[in-house]
Amino acid sequence: MPAAVQAGIRRPAAEVVFLLLAALGVGGCKTPQSFVPAEVPKELQKVSHPPYVIEPPDIIQVDLIAAVPKSPYRIRPLDALSVSVTGALPESPVPGIVSVEPDGTVYLGAPYGAVTVAGSTLDEARVAIEQAVSKFIGKDKKVAASVALAQTRATQQVRGPHLVRSDGTIGLGTYGEVYVVGMTVKEARQAIQQHLATYFQDPEVAVDVVGYNSKVYYVVYDGGGAGQQVLRFPITGNETVLDAIGQMNGLATVSDHRKIWISRPSPGCGVHQVLPVNWMAITEQGDVQTNYQVLPGDRIFVKAYPMVTADTTLARVIAPLERLFGVTLLGSQTVRSFGPNNNNNGFGFP
């Protein structure tokens, strides 16, 4: 079953649909038929959503936990190096963590100055730092340095929030892009780690969703013959019908509280899941039987009063006739005002 279907359909509902299709012998799209599943999540009987499936325009957070570059690693600007020097001047120790400046140098402090390390391996950088410090140490003293990579520029490029693009990928800076649409968080983490393995030795990343933008539900207000208002809300996994209507501060003045239902997407064609809602029981009696849990893709439809719809329809039919009769009446009055029997000499003047 596609991920989009799994995200909006529970197993009991899917089984009911399958049995119903088999019973009806549906071999193609036939006359639409509605049904209410036997088990539907309600206010006091909620269910957890299936594993979240990433889709545009979700936002996922990627943290690069372990990123050891494959050897030989060439130092780049904005990297951070851990430097330890023995034999340096006691009054001028070399700082432990130094950053590689945009010009490719690291500053070791006075009096040693800056040393160019960009493009060098860690061993080459160690030799360069030893030579720079040795210039200020007596010949009878020996200088030994150790250089290690404390932080790479890769951490800055990979770490942070990433928007899932319309083509299904996220960008990782100079490390390219990774396709993550249709994957769970666990699958996306594995895909990102596999992609970064080209550049790092056994990379490890943490992935989480921080912007749940792709899973939504809809509240549709019938305007009583004057169109419909469609409102789109992100889903958190805990909403009920009462929560959804509460997002709009209640029903509209033309809404019929007796005609509210949830239309839930169903697999196949010709079969609709329609869940009638008893609004008065939910609000006035605290009844939970029809206060259903909202699932991704649900359409909560609020019908308008039939008399409002009839009045709007009648007004649309009568309005053109009123205009036509008004123009006709005005024309006839104008003609009579210019007639010879109105004591105006036939020219409209007395």
In a shared domain, residues 198 and 324: no
Is residue 185 within 8 A of residue 54, CB to CB? The reply is yes
In a shared domain, residues 288 and 327: no
Question: Looking at residue 336, what is its pLDDT?
Answer: 76
Distance CA 87, CA 134 (A): 9
174 DSSP assignment = G
Q: Which structural domain range is residue 187 located in? A: 59-68+154-211
In a shared domain, residues 64 and 183: yes
* 349 part of a folded domain: no
Q: Among 187-196, 296-305, 307-316, where is mean pLDDT lowest?
A: 307-316
Provide the sign of the torsion angle of the four alpha carbons 278, 281, 283, 289, taken in this order: negative
In a shared domain, residues 63 and 190: yes
pLDDT classification of 8: cutoffs 50, 70, 90: very low
pLDDT classification of 2: cutoffs 50, 70, 90: very low
Distance CA 128, CA 73 (A): 16
In a shared domain, residues 172 and 203: yes
Q: Which residue has the higher pLDDT, 155 or 163?
A: 163
Question: Looking at residue 34, what is its pLDDT?
Answer: 63
Closest CA to 96 of 113, 109, 84, 111: 84
Residue 325 has pLDDT above 50, yes or no: yes
In a shared domain, residues 195 and 315: no
In a shared domain, residues 223 and 293: yes
Q: For residue 103, what are the CA distances in angstroms to 76, 88, 117, 241?
A: 10, 25, 10, 60
Count of other CB atoms within 10 angstroms of residue 226: 15
Question: Looking at residue 10, what is its pLDDT?
Answer: 41
* 348 part of a folded domain: no
CATH code of the domain containing 296: 3.10.560.10
Find the angle CA(234)-CA(297)-CA(12) to the nearest 5 degrees: 125
CA 121 to chain centre: 42
Residue 37 preceded by cis peptide, ω within 30? no
* 350 part of a folded domain: no
Looking at 183, 211, 239, the residue that finishes a domain is 211
Q: Tens digit of pLDDT for each residue in 208-226?
A: 999 999 999 999 999 998 8
% of the chain beyond a pLDDT of 70 = 84
pLDDT classification of 254: cutoffs 50, 70, 90: very high
* 235 part of a folded domain: yes
* 111 part of a folded domain: yes
Q: Tens digit of pLDDT for each residue in 59-79?
A: 999 998 877 777 788 888 888
Is residue 176 within 8 A of residue 76, CB to CB? The reply is no
**Amino acid in position 77:** P
Structure tokens at 320: 């053109």
* 347 part of a folded domain: no
In a shared domain, residues 85 and 142: yes
Question: Looking at residue 157, what is its pLDDT?
Answer: 74
Q: What is the mean pLDDT of the chain?
A: 83
Residue 16 has pLDDT above 50, yes or no: no
In a shared domain, residues 136 and 187: no
Phi, psi (5° rounding) for residue 324?
-65, -45
Gyration radius (Cα) of the chain, Å:
36
pTM over 0.85? The answer is no
* 221 part of a folded domain: yes
Count of other CB atoms within 10 angstroms of residue 127: 13
Name the domain count of the chain: 4
* 112 part of a folded domain: yes
Residue 15 has pLDDT above 70, yes or no: no
In a shared domain, residues 231 and 300: yes
Distance CA 97, CA 81 (A): 6
In a shared domain, residues 185 and 63: yes
Residue with tokens 């008893």: 278
Looking at 211, 230, 256, the residue that finishes a domain is 211
